[in-house]
Chain A
């Protein structure tokens, strides 16, 4: 499917995955992510791929990890409760450096919450849900087009960094219909494959950019994968030096190369009165608010995040230096606000909602007028 299409966010994520070369999907139905599984079940067989509905989310991510190591690009889609179940194996995929993509359509609330309603409160669960020190990559689309583009990007980053990548959408974006352009061909990155002598080969020896070059199962090169601390051969080890170096490399291989991740997008005047930092569906409202407020004599800049993790603190700090007031608008109790403050923007304040209602442009305008009054004269 190419050209201009009128699609739902979930459909766009699915087509994005397939365009990036995904041939394997394992999942367990959950609202509001279900359409991704349904569409995959229709599309994958004809491409020689496999869809399988597993017995739960733990099994789904496990099968995805297995399929990726077996040589297929693989993904799953879920929502909050499913993300919680996947956490232990997400940690395994980070530790074992297995590329895969998890689309998490955020819904409202902790526990079962309100199953069909939107939220943006899995930000920290995505970052810190699995145990142990680690880094993670998470991207957040704010339009149906970005659902397509960022899912392609997620696969590319997963292959480039050899790590799981999470796409954080929300129930509104997932079910929103917008026109999307699907190009004939997208830029695809495939995992680097080993070369050189088979004997003495070390699948976990760090290559360029600290990323190792392991083979797939079935290749001539022997692949030893374990969630235990392992040496460069893939053999488990309890040596403190091996453990320390491994965990630090897993973090550095991502954190040292954050410039390769999608950068935040700034829209607005050079030196606005207020900058709104936002992402996902909330960023759409911020952009609408900025357009409307202009005629009221206030200038609003919008900084839309695309990469959520690692948090793009340098870019955010640089752009925020242009405005006296910074507001972080998000549908949670301030999960990204904490990061913004940690990036040194201690003056930032939060516009937070956590009741399934989307933050509306009017709400942002009133908030800015009320709370940022002194800056706007």
Chain B
């Protein structure tokens, strides 16, 4: 393993300090991604960060390697083209839960179905940060947001289950509280030959935390710790308990050939 300080090669130091609020988890997520790249010794010019539109998407401003920021929700579709044109690149999508789970949901499912060899990291802060704390598909039922003052109506979307059932090679979820676990998952996803998704629950003290009276940024970290349970324990919970918790762990992990390898095989066999 390389020393962690190696992540500096991927950082646009002169762009710091970043624009994220104090206590926001986005910085930690970016750090884990850069650590993953450093540990796998991915050369600077061989990595591309495709980010979404939202607070987490601004991560692209702080990296010192190839980056692409397109339109809201389409990160995975852009990344699909980048990867297919140059499969030697390590293509990573970093998206918010709104970007990936609302406007971009179909791209997520289809990239997972095709098993496109890219890595998707979802910073799930349970709401839309950039536009001022509205509810997202993954906002838990009854949570208060700027567009659900009396409490959100409807259950949260589980991006991981959807992606796993669509056929992704690797699917896992953790939180910024369990940062070393998240780090390991990112590394696994980067190493996966097909589509890898890591969802990381992250505090947004400015909106989700404030609206739901979850206290300070530190309190929100405690909240994440309390609210999340390992997948096997989650599965033993009754439905009511499950509603009040998030699972974390590895949901899918299998080695099957990615889209481009299969496409090329077909082409040759013709």
Measuring CB to CB, which residues of chain A are less than 8 angstroms from any residue of chain B?
Answer: 23-24, 26, 45-46, 50, 52, 54-56, 58-59, 62-72, 74, 88-89, 92, 96, 216-220, 222-228, 234-236
Contacts and interface: CB of A to CB of B under 8 A. Distances in A.
Interface string B47-75: 01010000000101100111111110010
Interface centre among B70, B86, B106, B263, by most A CB within 10 Å? B70
B86 A216 contact: yes
A74 B58 CA distance: 27
A217 B48 contact: yes
Contacts of A223: 66-67
A311 to B, nearest CB: 27
B71 to A, nearest CB: 5
B85 A24 contact: yes
B88 A218 contact: yes
A359 to B, nearest CB: 38
B106 A55 contact: yes
Contact of A24 (B65, B74, B81, B88): B81
B224 to A, nearest CB: 30
Contact of A70 (B61, B83, B267): B83
Given A45-B263, A55-B107, A63 B84 contact: yes
Interface of B: 12, 15, 44-46, 48, 50, 58, 60-61, 64-71, 74, 77-86, 88-89, 106-107, 110, 260, 263-264, 266-267, 270
Contacts of B71: 62, 88-89, 92, 227
Given A50-B84, A54-B80, A59-B80, 14 more contacts: A45-B270, A55-B110, A62-B71, A66-B80, A66-B84, A66-B85, A68-B81, A69-B82, A70-B81, A70-B83, A71-B85, A72-B85, A92-B71, A226-B67
Contact of B81 (A45, A65, A225, A228): A65
A217 B86 contact: yes
Contacts of A71: 85-86
A74 B85 contact: yes
Contact of A217 (B64, B74, B82, B266): B82
A222 B64 contact: yes
A54 B113 CA distance: 12
Contacts of B83: 66, 70
Contacts of B110: 54-55, 59
A228 B89 contact: no
A335 B94 CA distance: 42
Contact of A222 (B44, B61, B84, B107): B44
A225 B46 CA distance: 15
A214 to B, nearest CB: 11
